[in-house]
């Protein structure tokens, strides 16, 4: 009763050895009722336990109870006839069988997802739920309309649109992908450069009138500042547009914030100088609400990446979203295209 089956996905074949002899013996003995057990779901649960680190975290990510997760793990161990995880009150450790089982299960699940995508998706339309983390500014303003059009185009797709500028932990946060601005690229992930965000150094006209004419970056240290703590805190680095001369300005912020909206509004209120995304203050500059300081000097633009964890297989919904971001991001107001970088 040993069995073999093959999943053919896009020309590649994943050979999966199914351990049936033990299960058959248990079934014939009446010890378990395998017809009620979804083996793929058991493997998914096992993989989620390993990647989440604890049963409780896996239960939270899968939207179920810890008791259910524990029961599924026990069922999988019974089916396979091996101990996969050793658990104590304070720790959890994979056995040798569990280590091998995790890699096999991860491979099987990737192949199964590919099979589901190939059979269930009509005309390559994405289904299921895509979990995306995006920065507050982009997520609330520039990307909302493209997202709504994306959802309208694919009625079987749902998106969890979470706005957060913090570093992403894909496993513990249960995120499929993230849009990151100005962050360092993590070599353990896949990072696709979409565009760059030019930045402007701005001040309110009323505040500027309180100071002598500003003609060189060395005068900037005497001005009050608003720090955008995600990108600069105690100093700012500027570059001359024509001759690429660098200059570092030490600053003493009156206000530090991680919100680009707060920084822009504080600058409008006359609190201090701020360096923010050019697209956000473009109209303020045009209408005279803000003045661009030293336009020949600028802070380096910020790269925008779409980041997601490495995997053998990526579902259609993630591939479609990546294609959307590649198309939309460079065309957003004030963005710099990748081919111009």
3-state helix, strand, coil in the chain (%, to 5): 40, 25, 30
Token code pair at residue 218: 């060395």
Helix (H) or strand (E) run with residue 129 in it: strand 128-134
Sign of the C-alpha dihedral, residues 215, 218, 224, 225? Answer: positive
Q: Give backbone dihedrals phi and psi of 56, rounded to 5 degrees, phi first.
A: -65, -40
Residue 128, judged by CB atoms within 10 A of its CB (0-12, 13-18, 19+), counts as middle
> pLDDT (tens digit, 0 to 9) for every residue of the chain, 341 residues total?
334 333 333 333 333 333 433 333 444 344 444 444 688 788 888 888 887 888 888 888 888 888 888 888 888 888 888 888 887 767 788 888 888 888 888 777 777 766 666 665 555 678 888 999 998 888 888 899 999 999 999 998 999 999 987 777 776 677 889 999 987 777 878 899 999 999 999 999 999 999 888 899 999 999 999 999 889 999 999 999 888 899 999 999 999 998 999 999 999 999 999 999 999 999 999 999 999 999 999 999 999 999 988 876 788 889 999 999 999 988 887 787 766 55
Strand order through the sheet with 274-277: 274-277, 199-203, 291-292
Please count the helices (runs of H) and the strands (runs of E) in the chain.
Answer: 12, 18
Residue 26, judged by CB atoms within 10 A of its CB (0-12, 13-18, 19+), counts as middle
What is the Cα–Cα distance from 215 to 77, expressed in whole angstroms? 72
Token code pair at residue 327: 């198309």
β-strand pairing of 253-257 with 225-228:
parallel
Residue 280, judged by CB atoms within 10 A of its CB (0-12, 13-18, 19+), counts as buried
For the chain, the C-alpha Rg in angstroms (whole number) is 26
State pTM to two decimals: 0.66
Q: Give backbone dihedrals phi and psi of 38, rounded to 5 degrees, phi first.
A: -90, 105
């Amino acid at each position: 009763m040993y069995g073999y089956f093959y999943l053919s996905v896009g020309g590649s074949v994943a050979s999966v050895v199914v351990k049936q002899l033990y299960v058959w013996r248990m079934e014939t003995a009446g010890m378990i009722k395998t017809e009620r057990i979804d083996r793929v779901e058991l493997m998914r649960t096992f993989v989620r336990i390993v990647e989440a680190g604890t049963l409780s975290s896996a239960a939270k990510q899968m939207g179920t109870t810890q008791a259910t997760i524990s029961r599924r793990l026990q069922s999988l161990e019974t089916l396979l006839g091996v101990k996969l995880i050793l658990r104590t009150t304070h720790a959890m450790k994979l056995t040798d069988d569990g280590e091998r089982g995790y890699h096999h299960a991860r491979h099987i699940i990737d192949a199964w997802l590919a099979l589901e995508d190939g059979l269930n998706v009509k005309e390559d339309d994405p289904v299921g739920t895509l979990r995306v983390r995006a920065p507050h500014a982009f997520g609330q303003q520039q990307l909302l309309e493209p997202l709504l059009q994306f959802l309208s185009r694919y009625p079987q797709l749902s998106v969890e649109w979470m706005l957060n500028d913090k570093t992403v932990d894909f496993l513990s946060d249960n995120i499929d992908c993230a849009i990151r601005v100005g962050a360092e690229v993590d070599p353990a992930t896949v990072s696709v450069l979409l565009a760059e965000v030019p930045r402007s150094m701005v001040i309110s006209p009323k505040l500027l009138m309180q100071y002598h004419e500003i003609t060189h970056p060395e005068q900037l240290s005497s001005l009050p500042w608003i720090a955008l703590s995600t990108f600069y805190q105690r100093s700012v680095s500027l570059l001359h547009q024509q001759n690429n001369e660098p200059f570092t300005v030490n600053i003493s912020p009156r206000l530090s914030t991680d919100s680009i909206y707060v920084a822009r509004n504080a600058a409008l209120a006359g609190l201090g100088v701020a360096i923010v995304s050019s697209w956000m203050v473009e109209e303020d500059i045009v209408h005279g609400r803000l003045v661009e300081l030293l336009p020949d000097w600028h802070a380096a633009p910020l790269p925008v990446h779409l980041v997601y964890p490495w995997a053998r297989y990526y579902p259609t919904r993630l591939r479609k979203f990546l294609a959307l971001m590649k198309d939309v991001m460079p065309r957003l107001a004030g963005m710099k295209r990748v081919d111009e970088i």
